[in-house]
Amino acid sequence: MYRRGRRRFLEGRLAELTEEDLAKLSPEQLRELQRQQCIFCHIIAGKVPARKVYEDELCVAVLDINPGAPGHVLLLPKEHASVLPQLPEDVIGHLGMVVKHLCRVVVQALKVDGASVLAANGVAAGQRAAHVMFHIIPRKEGDGVGLVLQERRMSDEQLHAVQQQVIVAVRKVFNSPDDALRFEGVTSADGGKQSAGDGRQPAGDGQQPKAENQEAKAEDRAPASANQSPTIEERTPDPKSRHPDAEDRGPKAAGGASLDDIANMLLGKR
């Protein structure tokens, strides 16, 4: 029944719209279009049958039709978002609590030894559908599901360089240098008092020129890709869809691209 419903959904999909048609649509209409194209939004709305195991006002949990193990659950926010950073923080927090309880439920009900929780942002991370989801996969030792993290050798210097790089970004994202840097042992040139732009450069560190180059590259890339392959959202950013915190961070988050830009880039969408 489920599969038949899915086929019907795919057949009933909107005919491909031309770029011109898309340009005429309002941001609201584009959002709606995305929702109409998202099979998980249809599952959430009950238009496509699925094996629902949990539902509340913010999220739905259904069984994956191609499970990694019996009882493999997908936890979906009801609100449509392609990648995690597009969701409001209260929804993300709620998902965290539900994930915890679903892990407990999976272990209790299926008599397994644990559960793997996995989310993917971007095709490179294995994301296949344009709707945020958390996989909760019941696990037993030696079940062959995989999800093993192999250690990669990195020198202390390499680890320290990454730490420096991430700290600078963390300070920017959290927008509160004092909170984010309540620890010692880390070179911080600006003492956390300068603007985010200046804060990008760690003190007297070999990383400095490299970081600048990367930033420059990222800024070059963003407008170029917008020219070559304009995406739906790049042309008409929808302010409503933005993360509530987006305004705090300014309209440009994460290396000069908007969250919607990132979402499109990650999903390799037109």
Partner 1 sequence: MMANCPICDLLARKEGLVYEDDKVAALIAPVPAVPGHVWVVPKKHAATLDQVPDAVMADLFVKVNKLTIALFDSVKPEGTNVLVQNGTGAGQVLPHVIAHLLPRVQGDGLNVQWKPRQLSDDEMGTAELALREAASSIGVFEKEPEAPVEVEKPKELTVSEEDYLIRQLRRLP
Site for partner 1 in 166-195 (CB under 8 A): 166-170, 172-174, 179-180, 182-186
The Cα–Cα gap between 75 and 56 comes to 11
Produce one character per residue of 96-135: b if its CB has 16 or more CB atoms within 10 Å, e if not: eebbeebbebbeeeeebeebbbebbbeeeeebeebbbbbb
- Interaction with partner 1 in 213-252: which residues (CB under 8 A)? 214, 218
Could you tell me the smallest distance in angstroms from the CB atom of residue 226 to partner 1? Answer: 17
Could you tell me the smallest distance in angstroms from the CB atom of residue 104 to partner 1? Answer: 6
Which has the closest alpha carbon to 95: 84, 82, 108, 109? 84
Q: With CB under 8 A as the contact rule, which of the stretches 4-12, 14-22, 28-36, 51-59 interacts with partner 1?
A: 51-59
By CB under 8 A, name the one of 29, 158, 187, 229 that touches partner 1. 158
Which residue type sits at 56?
D
- What's the DSSP call for residue 12? T
Whether 85 and 262 have beta carbons less than 8 Å apart is answered as: yes
Q: Which is nearer to partner 1, 15 or 124 (CB)?
A: 124
Q: Which is nearer to partner 1, 39 or 53 (CB)?
A: 53
By CB under 8 A, name the one of 39, 60, 137, 232 that touches partner 1. 137
The Cα–Cα gap between 80 and 57 comes to 14
By CB under 8 A, name the one of 45, 154, 216, 224 that touches partner 1. 154
Q: Which is nearer to partner 1, 38 or 173 (CB)?
A: 173
- Interaction with partner 1 in 10-49: which residues (CB under 8 A)? none
